[in-house]
Structure 1
Amino acid sequence: MAHKTKKARVMIVEDEGVIAMDIKRTLMDFGYTVTSISSTAGEAIRRAQTDKADVVLMDVVLDGAMDGIEAATLIHSAMGTPVIFLTSYSDEFILERAKITEPFGYLIKPFRDRELYTTIEMALYKDKMQRQLSDSQKWFSTTLMSIGDGVITTNADGHVTFINKAAVRLIGLKEDAAIGLPIGELITLKDETSEDLSDDAFNPLIVAMAGDTTVSLTDFLLIANTGRAVPVSMTTAAIKDEQGSILGTAVTFQDQTKRKELEDKLRHMMLTDSMTELNNRRGFYMLAEHQLKRAKRFNRKIAMVFIDVDGLKRINDTLGHPTGDRAIVDTASILKETFRESDIIGRIGGDEFVVLITDVFGVTEDVVTERLASTAAIYNERQDCPYKISLSIGFVLYSPESDLTIDALMAAADRLMYEHKIRKHNKS
């Protein structure tokens, strides 16, 4: 009785003509299409390229210099066609050689028709599953290679087994150089304070490999073994099998360089005076409050200087506001040249400036007044300058035992500055 027709195409390689024809009739009775019958390895290899069969029935022992095992190896490698071995022998050596080629089935002659049918169907199913798995793996690998996030996987010993293109760009090391390296040699993590996460209890890679829950981190520096430092956010998770045994670790990185640059730009805009590039009121307060806390903690003195530009209204009224703006910018330059980089300088509005001196050793009100006057004199000597810069200052020394706040220091310095301005006005 004929069976339901199958679409599978079968190629027969058998040097015994009678056996080959018998197999062909059986296959056709099962509904298979027999693409060709070959009696030698060379003939089988040539026909495999044109037949494009779904499965090959390969006799192990063939006439000629090449046997069926060698032919099967070449056909499967070149075409990917699944091979079922046919043999009259159950020799262990032949079996071991055949295993190396990873056959899809193995039949010892004589075999029953149903054995042949079952073996072919199992081979076709196995081939289908392997191709689906291969396609899935290729799709997965291609996806991981193409995504913008860096991805690294390791084995249970922490050695790199996969690294995608984004991770290669982040780390600056080629894929073939990274595979097999311990991940600790490939990358180092540092927190925002640039302290190395060398303690295993806090290392997210170690934590993930220990089987803990997924670890997510933000605002960390990834230090590649090339020395390159990149701000990243990252997630690590253990890779486990169905029994819960840890097979390795998956690590994903997101390059935060652009985000950091945007945040820095926005922070600069929020905390910086656009005209002078000095700290604005908000920026000055933020930095000054920090220094005040440090002064209390380490028992250090600091000083607050309040500075006002004399006669700015007159400059604006007689020479115009653009010229007045230039006088403000010149004043900012004078302050930058007069004070140290460690001192905090801010423009808090209009013609008013403040400076927090963080190290007062050798600094007095007279010293500050003299330095400012000297630097201003250099600016006033310019022949193209239609105005003269004159500054009034108030100087307040802060002692750590005092309870004064930044606002109180600034108010006290403002009063002294106003008194200085009156004295100057009375002398003129």
Structure 2
Amino acid sequence: MANKSSSNKESKQIDNVYRDIVVSTNTLIWRTDAEGRLTFLNPAWERIYNYKTDEMLGKPFSDFQVTEAAGHYINAFRNCLIGESVIGHETTFFSKGGDEVHLAINMIPLHDDKDKIVGIQGTAFDITERKHADDILQYISAKDELTGLYNLHTFLSMTEHQIKTAHREKKDILIIYAGLQDIKKTTEEHGDEAGDRVIIDAADIFRKTFREADVLARTGDSEFVTSTLVLSRDGEKLILSRLQKNIDEYNKEKNGSLKLSMSFGTSFYDPENPVSINALLSTADDEMYKNKYS
């Protein structure tokens, strides 16, 4: 009898410990039924994200997500319902205030007394700060520090995606390689800061000339490249004319101070006769240098 009493007391203490952990932890804990409707939420949901419990209970978690994230979550939920554990599934949902929250979710099947799966239970950890830090690192690694344009590595990656669009829409891609003239002379006569200023201004002219959908990059100390989808090769003359017009307007505004001059080379990607991006860049680069020293 004494042993049974001691066992009950110990069991109650363990229950109290678990209850205290569930109530006090900032880890999100929940359960759902087999239809995905939330049946239990620990206080962290309300404490951190300001939802009242009754605002979420009875609804599927996917109701609090954007469509794409909800689709991935539902697939993970279905896998869990057939007996699989889900570890580290990354997803997003929106807090009561409308902020996007990134979560890493762990889920396991929830069984009844007869070992039938009747839902899922899981934990989630807020990884929003980590995701934001990752985004910043990705942004920094993708960009040229001085101009804010893409670097060559990112240009190559994004142009690969552009090639898929070119095949789908049956369009050509115009590659324009541009090199600043006399940048070494500018630096020698006016200093490094003046040279940097000209490079930054050249990048701004590129931004002004091209569309947001176009891919712009700084590939060397004083060289730039862009790739843009065009309906026909007739677009080359129009685009180069617009680029030169913006350079002329810039020089007119400078009125005798540091002016800017560029040489250009071009190449085309034809979906009907595909070649590598590196081959396109080499062709445009060679033409740019011929024009630069002609």
Fold shared, TM-score > 0.5 on shorter chain: yes
Distance in structure 1 (CA, Å) of the matches to 2:106 and 2:213: 38
1:283 paired with 2:154, answer yes
By relative contact order (CA 8 Å, sep 6+), the higher-ranking structure is 2
Quick one: structure 1 residues 361 and 151, their matched pair in 2 at CA, closer, same or farther if it must change by over 3 Å? farther
Q: Which residue of 2 aligns with 1:216?
A: 87
Q: Is the contact between residue 62 and residue 70 of structure 2 (CA under 8 Å) also seen in structure 1?
A: no
- SS of 2:271 mapped into structure 1: coil
Cα offset for 1:279?
Answer: 0.4
1:10-34 deviation per Cα after TM superposition (whole angstroms, max 9, x unaligned): xxxxxxxxxxxxxxxxxxxxxxxxx
Quick one: structure 1 residues 176 and 297, their matched pair in 2 at CA, closer, same or farther if it must change by over 3 Å? closer
Q: Is the contact between residue 305 and residue 355 of structure 1 (CA under 8 Å) also seen in structure 2?
A: yes
1:101-134 deviation per Cα after TM superposition (whole angstroms, max 9, x unaligned): xxxxxxxxxxxxxxxxxxxx68x955x6555444
Quick one: structure 1 residues 422 and 158, their matched pair in 2 at CA, closer, same or farther if it must change by over 3 Å? closer
Q: Specify which of 267, 270, 276 is matched with residue 141 of structure 2.
A: 270
Distance in structure 1 (CA, Å) of the matches to 2:16 and 2:290: 79
Question: Given residue 44 of structure 2, which amino acid in structure 1 is its aligned partner?
Answer: A
Q: Which residue of 1 aligns with 2:269?
A: 398
- SS of 2:71 mapped into structure 1: coil
Q: Which residue of 1 aligns with 2:31?
A: 153
Q: Is the contact between residue 172 and residue 233 of structure 2 (CA under 8 Å) also seen in structure 1?
A: no
Long gaps (5+) in structure 1: 1-120, 424-428
Q: Which residue of 2 aligns with 1:331?
A: 202
Aligned CA RMSD, in angstroms, stands at 3.0
Cα offset for 1:269?
Answer: 2.0
Cα offset for 1:261?
Answer: 1.3
Question: Given residue 369 of structure 1, which amino acid in structure 2 is its aligned partner?
Answer: L
Quick one: structure 1 residues 131 and 382, their matched pair in 2 at CA, closer, same or farther if it must change by over 3 Å? farther
- SS of 1:203 mapped into structure 2: helix
Question: Given residue 107 of structure 2, which amino acid in structure 1 is its aligned partner?
Answer: T
Q: Specify which of 185, 197, 202 is matched with residue 71 of structure 2.
A: 197
Q: Is the contact between residue 303 and residue 360 of structure 1 (CA under 8 Å) also seen in structure 2?
A: no
Quick one: structure 1 residues 400 and 174, their matched pair in 2 at CA, closer, same or farther if it must change by over 3 Å? same
Q: Which residue of 2 aligns with 1:168?
A: 46
Cα offset for 1:281?
Answer: 1.1
Q: Is the contact between residue 150 and residue 170 of structure 1 (CA under 8 Å) also seen in structure 2?
A: no
Q: Is the contact between residue 237 and residue 249 of structure 1 (CA under 8 Å) also seen in structure 2?
A: yes
Quick one: structure 1 residues 324 and 253, their matched pair in 2 at CA, closer, same or farther if it must change by over 3 Å? same
TM-score by length of 1: 0.61
Aligned pairs, how many?
294
TM-score by length of 2: 0.86
Q: Percent identity, aligned pairs only? A: 26
Higher-Rg member (1/2): 1
Alignment of structure 1 residues 48-67 onto 2, 5 Å:
none
Quick one: structure 1 residues 377 and 401, their matched pair in 2 at CA, closer, same or farther if it must change by over 3 Å? same
Q: Which residue of 2 aligns with 1:25?
A: none
Cα offset for 1:211?
Answer: 4.5
Cα offset for 1:196?
Answer: 4.2
Question: Given residue 60 of structure 2, which amino acid in structure 1 is its aligned partner?
Answer: I
Cα offset for 1:364?
Answer: 2.8
1:182 paired with 2:54, answer no
- SS of 1:143 mapped into structure 2: helix
